[in-house]
């Protein structure tokens, strides 16, 4: 039985009763492509069995390294871009309060960089870091991706200056390729603790590998329960029957809506600690499906906050949107609304009520308003914000998006379009091997002005 309760009941005005059943044969075929490895990208399906088929010795080394970081560092600087950081940041935010920080005898703050080329961001991070004790987890399969490589060079230099070369090497944890690459070569030479990016798991599917597990564990999370949640989802989601199998229902309904002109999906939440989970979803969806001039465009919104910014557009703008709400049935905490004798804010009708009570009815009101306004709404209901639920939720979305990609006739596991901007950037900054592009690219850009 699924831990996740998927609610598509509000799709009645948009999806006819027979349509989901008509998708069954296509879903069965997509599932066969995925499970049997006959579909495109079949060498990147390692995530399917990862929750039970992972290196247990390495997993124990991750937990040991996390304890060392907890003991000697106030801060863990996690360096990576795309799938090398989004999953970990989403998980840490999901599992911790909005203002968590290191207290004596507890866990380090995990911060993320190497995901942009902003000098201001790194300057601010360096200033904030000050004289705090820190370690670095650098995550890169090749070790030559520009954004994380630049950040690693900067913080490696700071480690050496603060602790000396030998101690600095003990505070660097490299998550990289098993056999090759610049980072692997450096890690071997300098004696960094090493963890492996599996060959058969792409970046956006890698949160349950050492890519995500080390920073998540360092933050104090129970990664055994995280993996158990994903393993339970794997066991629960083997039946493709669209009458009961929730990730397959979701994949099919997304494609039904897409073919009717609903080309943008907004992943939404009503808990601020799910903000980065929506960002992880955006990468999972965008890189998996945006190919061959087709695919659902992923967006995100944080409610009720964004109802005061994009809410008007969702309600009355172009009718090419549909919404997927991730709703927490039992939020971690709550606050009661007090009585105020003067009642100047006219809120006394809510005295004694909780914020979660108001938030829940805001969700219900928004669903009704947007549905009435011509926007399809689906809801992914999760029971709580624990490690077990998070692992389950991660697997739900990974499976659904893989199936959705095959339903749309694309390879859900590659991302060829990501390389084009890199080629241009390398030419413009005269990276060795790209110098011949410099003059032409500079001329073209200046002409565009």
Query: Do 220 and 107 form a contact (C-beta atoms < 8 A)?
Result: yes
Backbone phi and psi for residue 90, each to the nearest 5 degrees, phi listed first:
-60, -45
DSSP 8-state symbol, 11: G
- Give the three-state DSSP class for 284: helix
Distance, in Å, from the CA atom of 15 to the CA atom of 11, rounded to the nearest integer, reads: 6
Residues with active-site annotation: 287, 422
Nearest one of 205, 332, 216, 175 to 281, comparing CA atoms? 205
What are the helix and strand counts (H, E) for the chain? 17, 10
Query: Do 116 and 147 form a contact (C-beta atoms < 8 A)?
Result: yes
DSSP 8-state symbol, 294: B
Query: Do 229 and 392 form a contact (C-beta atoms < 8 A)?
Result: yes
Nearest one of 175, 380, 397 to 283, comparing CA atoms? 397
Distance, in Å, from the CA atom of 140 to the CA atom of 157, rounded to the nearest integer, reads: 18
Q: Name the β-bridge partners of 139.
A: 175
Distances (CA, A) of 237 to 1, 48, 49, 249, 266: 9, 11, 12, 11, 24
The H or E element containing residue 285 is helix 275-289
For strands 377-382 and 5-7, give the pairing: antiparallel
Query: Do 365 and 359 form a contact (C-beta atoms < 8 A)?
Result: no
One-letter-per-residue 3-state SS of 364-429: HHHHHHHHHCCCCEEEEEECCCCHHHHHHHHHHHHHHHHHHHHHCCCCCCCCCCHHHHHHHHHHHC
Residue for token pair 């598509």:
8
């Amino acid at each position: 039985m699924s831990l996740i309760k998927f609610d598509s009941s509000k799709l009645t005005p948009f999806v006819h009763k027979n349509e989901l059943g008509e998708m069954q044969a296509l879903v069965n075929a997509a599932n066969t492509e995925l499970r049997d490895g006959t579909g495109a990208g079949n060498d990147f399906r390692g995530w399917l069995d990862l929750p039970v088929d992972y290196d247990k010795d390495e997993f124990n080394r991750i937990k040991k390294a996390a304890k060392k970081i907890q003991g000697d560092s106030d801060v863990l600087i996690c360096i990576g871009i795309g799938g090398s950081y989004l999953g970990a940041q989403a998980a840490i935010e999901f599992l911790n309060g909005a203002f968590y920080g290191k207290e004596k005898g507890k866990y380090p703050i995990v911060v993320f960089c190497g995901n942009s080329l902003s000098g201001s961001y790194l300057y601010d991070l360096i200033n904030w870091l000050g004289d705090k004790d820190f370690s670095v987890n650098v995550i890169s399969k090749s070790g030559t991706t520009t954004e994380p490589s630049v950040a690693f060079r900067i913080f490696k230099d700071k480690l050496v200056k603060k602790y000396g070369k030998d101690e600095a090497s003990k505070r660097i944890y490299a998550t990289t390729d098993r056999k090759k690459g610049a980072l692997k070569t450096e890690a071997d030479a300098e004696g960094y603790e090493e963890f492996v990016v599996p060959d058969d798991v792409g970046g956006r599917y890698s949160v349950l590998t050492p890519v995500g597990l080390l920073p998540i564990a360092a933050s104090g999370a129970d990664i055994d329960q995280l993996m158990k949640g994903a393993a339970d989802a794997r066991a629960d989601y083997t039946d493709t029957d669209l009458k009961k199998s929730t990730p397959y229902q979701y994949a099919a309904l997304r494609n039904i809506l897409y073919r009717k002109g609903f080309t943008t999906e907004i992943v939404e939440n009503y808990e601020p600690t799910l903000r980065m989970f929506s960002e992880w979803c955006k990468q999972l969806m965008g890189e998996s499906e945006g190919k061959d001039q087709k695919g659902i465009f992923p967006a995100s919104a944080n409610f009720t906050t964004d109802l005061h910014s994009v809410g008007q557009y969702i309600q009355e703008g172009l009718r090419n949107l549909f919404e997927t709400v991730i709703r927490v049935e039992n939020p971690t905490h709550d606050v009661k609304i007090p009585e105020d004798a003067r009642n100047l804010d006219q809120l006394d009708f809510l005295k004694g009520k909780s914020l979660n009570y108001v938030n829940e009815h805001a969700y219900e009101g928004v669903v009704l308003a947007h549905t009435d306004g011509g926007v399809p709404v689906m809801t992914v209901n999760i029971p709580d914000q624990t490690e077990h639920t998070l692992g389950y939720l991660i697997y739900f979305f990974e499976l659904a998006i893989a199936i959705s990609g095959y339903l749309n006739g694309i390879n859900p596991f590659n991302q060829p379009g990501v390389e084009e901007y890199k080629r241009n950037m390398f030419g413009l900054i005269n990276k060795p091997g790209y110098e011949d592009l410099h003059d032409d690219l500079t001329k073209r850009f200046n002409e565009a002005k």
